[in-house]
Structure 1
Amino acid sequence: MRAHLARVDAVLVQAVIAAALSFAHLHDLASAAGQDGWKAWAYPVSVDLLLVAAWKRLRSGSSKAAGWCWFVIALAASLGANVATAGLLDLADVPDWLRILVAGWPAVAFLGGTLLAHTAPAAEAASAPAELAEVVSVSTEPENAGPPADPEPEPKRPAPHVPAALVNHARKLADDHRARTGSPIDPETLRARLGVPAPLADAIASRL
């Protein structure tokens, strides 16, 4: 436990030292570029906030391309200030291009922070239509859906018209069938003997 706390304390000390030095270098560079007073102190805060916003986007696991882009931009600004104030740049005579970069940094930082903070991650944007479709499907379902209605029975077909002559002929066939077999004629045999459709044969058989 103590070893873990020692490692954490060492990391915190290193972070504080790095932040303080980077903060001072950014302040000195901004002041040398003509940003005096409170403006020189605002530049380090702007760079560090953009770094934090980009790091949070990288840790979120979505839209890492945007996170890396703005992280590199903020890191380049911080690292550039550290290198520029190491004696490689005459702070008493800052070149015009560096003054332009320093003066334009607030707009760049505002753009990056806005895009990082207000751009919806791809996973959330993709899940939004699915959630909306689910809500719509639930809302369109009937609230009190009763049991399904029984299907209506099919209307009965009217009995076919049977001519009297055909009935008389069928009776003769039935009598002949009974005389030969000793049993009444069935509708299937009657249909075959008469050569009529099954419904008509049934109607004739019911009249015998």
Structure 2
Amino acid sequence: MRAHLARVDAVLVQALIAAALSFAHLHDVASAAGQDGWKAWAYPVSVDLLLVAAWRRLRSGDAKASGWCWFVIALAASLGANVATAGLLDLHQVPAWLRILVAGWPAVAFLGGTLLAHSASASTDSAPEAADVVEDQDERDGRENTPDPALGQAEPTTSPAPQPAPVAVPELPAVSVPAALVEHARKVAAEHHTRTGTPIDTPTLRARLGVPAPLAEAITARL
């Protein structure tokens, strides 16, 4: 934990020193180019703010081309001031091109800051619009999938119940009926019809003749 804090403190101190030196160099160049008073102190702030804004754009991942463009411009202004104060230029006799660059820097910084801020707001506004389009599409899909009450509720389709397999019934062998038994059965049936007024049924015929059920059914079929 202490090693981590020490590393963070060292980085912070180094950043503060570098920022102070760069700030002082920009102030000296602006002052030498004819920007006196508070204007000379405003130039370092403008350069550093544009550098931070461009770096944030690069970190956000949106419009990286614009972010790299303005990051290079702000870095060139900062490095140029640092190099200029190293004795390569006579700050007592600043050339005209440097005066032009320093005088035109506020317009450049304003343009860069405006473009970076505008592209940031446009990217944040496009996200809710895309979300609204997705929500509208989901609502339309939900309305299309919902059945219309006026048309009635669609009955769920059910598969037909499986039918039981047919059971094979063994065929009974044909029962031979003597002709004499058939004639006797006709007399019994006629007597039953005369007495009751209804045709004789198989159980009654079986009881009257005293024969098995298959034989009684065969006789009934012959009547």
For normalisation by structure 1, the TM-score amounts to 0.65
Query: Following TM superposition, by how much is the alpha carbon of 1:130 offset from its aligned partner in structure 2, in angstroms?
Result: 3.2
Secondary structure in structure 1 of the residue aligned to 2:151: coil
1:92-145 Cα shifts (integer Å, max 9, x gaps): 000000000000000000111111112147865664553333354438976x97
Describe the superposition over 1:65-98 as per-residue Cα deviations: whole angstroms up to 9, x where unpaired: 1111111100000000000001110000000000
* Count of matched residue pairs: 150
Which ranges in structure 1 are unaligned for 5 or more consecutive residues?
Answer: 152-208
Q: Deviations over 1:46-76 (max 9, x none)?
A: 0000011011101111211111111110000
Matches of 2:78 and 2:123 in 1, distance apart?
A: 31
SS at match of 2:42: helix
Q: For 1:96-115, what aligned pairs fall within 5 Å after superposition?
A: 96-115=96-115
1:147 to 146, 149, 155: 149
Q: Give, in whole Å, the separation in 2 of the partners of 1:147 and 1:85.
A: 82
Structure 1: distance between partners of 2:45 and 2:125? 31
User: What's 1:42 paired with?
Assistant: 42
Amino acid at match of 1:85: T
Q: Match for 2:48: what amino acid?
A: D
Match of 2:67 in 1: 67
* Alignment RMSD: 2.6
| 1:150-170 CA-partner distances (Å, limit 9, x unpaired) | 49xxxxxxxxxxxxxxxxxxx
* 2:21 paired with 1:21: yes
Gaps of 5+ in 2: 154-223
Which of 1 and 2 has greater Rg?
A: 2
Contact 1:47 1:109 in 2 (8 A): yes
Aligned partners of 1:11, 1:27: CA distance in 2, in Å? 24
Q: In percent, how many aligned pairs have the same letter? A: 75
Match of 1:173 in 2: none
Offset from partner CA, 1:165-187 (integer Å, 9 cap, x none):
xxxxxxxxxxxxxxxxxxxxxxx
Q: Which runs of 4+ in 1 moved over 6 A?
A: 139-142
TM-score by length of 2: 0.61
